[in-house]
Amino acid sequence: MSTLRLALFDLDNTLLSGDSDYEWGQFLIERGVLGRAEYEAQNAAFFEQYKAGTLDIHEYLGFALRPLAAHALHDLDRWHEEFMASCILPMIGKPARALVERHRAAGDLCAVVTATNSFVTVPIARAFGIDHLIATEPETVNGRYTGRVAGTPCFREGKVRRVEDWLAGLGRTMTEFSDSAFYSDSQNDLPLLERVTRPVAVDPDVKLAAEAARRGWPVISLR
């Protein structure tokens, strides 16, 4: 039995004090890249569905990945640099950085596991010093995004599958770890929370808070 420990972190409203996917859409609206009238209400509606646990991930991704397909990568990268500075870095608090650093200092295998697409989240995982990112992957063809998803979306049961596939690529399985922690705020993450040895609810939504209380899971705040 390996003594290696595994630490998995949800991103939005867990390590971040906000939702990077939602804020990316709002940022593009404020920049005039997306039309406010046709995009803002939809963005808000999908966000409410996510919080309620009723989101159709494929319908949402058809909406969320469309802006990536509409613009060249160099423009997207330029906008993302500004987005990181103005929106994301203010959402990274000292307690979240300290939590990640404790796991990294202990030599734990760390990964961000998020439904938000990898274009948005690669620089955010890097800002936390986490080398491994398991995210929804947007499809690319000839150096441009297509607006479609590549593979399994990293959402609900898809998070479990994607984590298992990632570990298999490292020649490992979840059961090999003496301790496996997953930190999340969301009821949508119950499938993965149920798979680890140490599920931790972080500033949880109402349903996850109730489940954590029922099952005796620890509840922490990073705010």
Q: Is 185 a catalytic residue?
A: no
Distance CA 213, CA 149 (A): 35
With helix as H, strand as E and coil as C, how does 141-155 read? ECCEEEEEEECCCCC
Catalytic residue among 10, 19, 21, 185: 10
Q: Catalytic pick from 12, 19, 108, 189?
A: 12
For the chain, the helix, strand and coil percentages under 3-state DSSP, each to the nearest 5: 55, 20, 25
Q: How far apart are CA 65 and CA 63, in angstroms?
A: 6
Q: Cβ(81)–Cβ(102) under 8 Å? A: no
Q: Is 205 a catalytic residue?
A: no
List the catalytic residues: 10, 12
